[in-house]
Amino acid sequence: MFATQRGYGEWKDGWEFPGGKIETGETPEAALKREIQEELDTEISVKERIDTIEYDYPNFHLSMDCFWCEIVSGKLELKEHEAARWLTKESLDSVDWLSADKALIEKIRLML
Ligand SMILES: Nc1nc2c([nH]c(=O)n2[C@H]2C[C@H](O)[C@@H](COP(=O)(O)OP(=O)(O)OP(=O)(O)O)O2)c(=O)[nH]1
- Give the pLDDT score at 64: 98
Residue 99 CA: which ligand 1 atom is closest?
8
Q: Answer whether 75 contacts ligand 1 (Cβ < 6 A).
A: no
pLDDT digits (tens, 9 = 90+) for 66-88: 999 999 999 999 999 999 999 99
Best probe residue, ligand 1, of 39, 50, 64 (max atoms within 8 Å of C-beta): 64
Tell me the sheet residues that pair with 15: 5, 97
Distance from Cα 88 to the centre of ligand 1, integer Å: 23
The stretches in the chain having pLDDT less than 50 are none
The reported pTM is: 0.95
DSSP 69-97: EEEEE-----SS-SEEEE--GGGGGGS-B
Dihedral angle over CA of 42, 111, 97, 27, nearest 10 = 50
Domains located in the chain, CATH noted: 2-111 (3.90.79.10)
Q: What is the pLDDT of residue 75?
A: 98
- Residue 106's pLDDT is 95
